[in-house]
Amino acid sequence: MDFSNLSIAELLAGYSQKKFSVKEVTAAYLANIKKYEPSLKAFLTVTEEAAKQRAVELDRQLKNSSQLPPLFGIPISLKDVLVTRGIRTTAASRLLDNYQPPYDATVVKLLSTAGAVFLGKTNCDEFAMGASNEKSGFYPTHNPWRLDCVPGGSSGGSAASVAARECLVSIGSDTGGSIRQPASFCGVVGLKPTYGRVSRYGLIAMTSSLDQIGPLTRSVADAASVLQVIAGPDKYDATSAAHILPDLAKEITKSVKGLKVGVPTEFFGPGLDKRVEQLVRKAIDQLSDLGALVQSVNLPTVKYAIPTYYILSPAEISANLARYDGLRYGGSYLAEDLATTYSKTRGSLLGAEVKRRIILGTYVLSAGYYDAYYKKAVKVGRQIKKEFREIFKQVDLLATPTSPTTAFTLGSRNQDPLAMYLEDVYTVPVNIAGLPALSLPVGQLDGLPVGLQLIGRPWEEHLVLRLAQAYEQSTNWHTLQPELK
């Protein structure tokens, strides 16, 4: 039996009715990993034996249980920035090549309690810094739709593993689009929750004020099921919030008739591939046909989001990565003095992109430049938040492209960091404002997926998911899958 196209709900029903076992499903997904990984390279660590043992344990529980937990027997991969007790966790950096954390991230604990089966840790840009997955300290991941193209970043391994049927769900992190952009490139659903909706405890931090954990799945309903499990306050994370998440299974099936959807004109300017724009606008027309009330809106300050992000983000990176000094944990090149130990460890074991952002962040925080750069960026960030707040008094949701292009070829932008940074032009404003947003597939160009981004008010993931579900059910883009050999 082919399990790879069954949803979470269908797998749970099959388990309940004893149609198949967790062992069988787990074995099928592990077989896919073994088959596709030589060409795809989506994983950094595959936990085959642990997954098999977990499956046996769950099958034993299945014999004596009438009610299954919400993710019972669901095969899941984890972006390798989520710490896992006793399991290699690298953040795709040579500096953490052999690091085995002594504890689990809160999200990992919640998924485990919900019955998930972890298949392994997925590749990403080093310390989540990148938009293509080419900045991994180990090797680039390939796009399952076209192996000569990137899967997006930084959660590219997660997106590729879901699209290639190597797992049913993957958990990624999103700082400036790192869930949504690879979801767009790989033709899957990627959800970035409101900042504070999901605990970040155990997430190897890139930019603490912008990072958020979220799911990548093959359907909107599956994304809702996973969010229902991982959302909620956490005593270990002071930034997590206690806002109540409604029953998403009920919420996403409600009518979208009358929902007001804004289309920001600033997201459809120069730099957007015309063919991508056509597919996105066609999808927005479909939202209108489904009963949504579509109107044009303006967000004039979002044009400053990229420069703002690339001041605020490196500033926090320079602070967060100071702990990787060759003394506390991770790789180390011990030398005759402290300064040489620092320089050899960080110089040898950190990649060029990480070093670039540390240097940039240190510069904008330094004396004489703090007021000129960082302080101004904070003010612009507040203005962007204010504009979103005002626009959401007029509309319920926003619809935009997720990325200005489809997936580009491997190596084509490595010599131009600015071109790479502009890949996040439509996703970065969402992180600055702390909003929930989702990308879902709305078409293909030359065999490569195109994504639509839906953005909601803070704590209104249910509306984002509801509109996405309505669109998904009216098309078949989410059912397409790459032909891997």
**What six digits make up the tokens of 481?**
């899958």
SS3 per residue for 41-102: CCEEEECHHHHHHHHHHHHHHHHCCCCCCCCCCCEEEEECCECECCECCCCCCHHHCCCCCC
What does R_g of the chain's alpha carbons equal in angstroms? 21
Strand partners, 260: 293
Element (H, E) at 385: helix 375-391
Amino acid at 178: S
Which listed residue (4, 41, 77, 79) is catalytic? Answer: 79
Query: Which stretches does DSSP call E strand in 144-249?
Result: 169-174, 189-192, 212-217
Give me the residue label for tokens 């070829």. Answer: 409
Phi, psi of 35 (to 5 degrees): -75, -40
Question: Can 257 be counted among the known catalytic residues?
Answer: no
Helix axes 274-289, 461-473, angle to 10 degrees: 100
Strand partners, 171: 78, 215
Question: Can 296 be counted among the known catalytic residues?
Answer: no
Torsion of CA 403, 407, 413, 417, to 10 degrees: 30
Report the 10 Å Cβ neighbour count for 370: 14
Q: How many residues are recorded in the chain? A: 485
Phi-psi region of 326 (alpha: psi -120 to 50; beta: other; left: phi over 0): left
Which listed residue (136, 155, 178, 313) is catalytic? Answer: 178
Q: How far apart are CA 58 and CA 363, in angstroms?
A: 52
- Asked whether the beta carbons of 55 and 26 are under 8 A apart, the reply is yes
Which listed residue (4, 77, 154, 199) is catalytic? Answer: 154
Phi, psi of 45 (to 5 degrees): -140, 130
Phi-psi region of 185 (alpha: psi -120 to 50; beta: other; left: phi over 0): alpha
Long-range contacts, 317-320 (Cβ 8 Å, 24+): 317/127, 317/129, 317/206, 317/207, 317/354, 317/357, 317/358, 317/361, 318/357, 318/358, 318/359, 318/360, 318/361, 318/362, 318/365, 319/361, 320/205, 320/206, 320/207, 320/208
Question: Can 254 be counted among the known catalytic residues?
Answer: no
**Which 3 state secondary structure label does DSSP give 3?**
coil
- Asked whether the beta carbons of 431 and 178 are under 8 A apart, the reply is no
Helix axes 22-40, 48-63, angle to 10 degrees: 160
Phi-psi region of 111 (alpha: psi -120 to 50; beta: other; left: phi over 0): alpha
Give the catalytic positions in this structure. Answer: 79, 154, 178
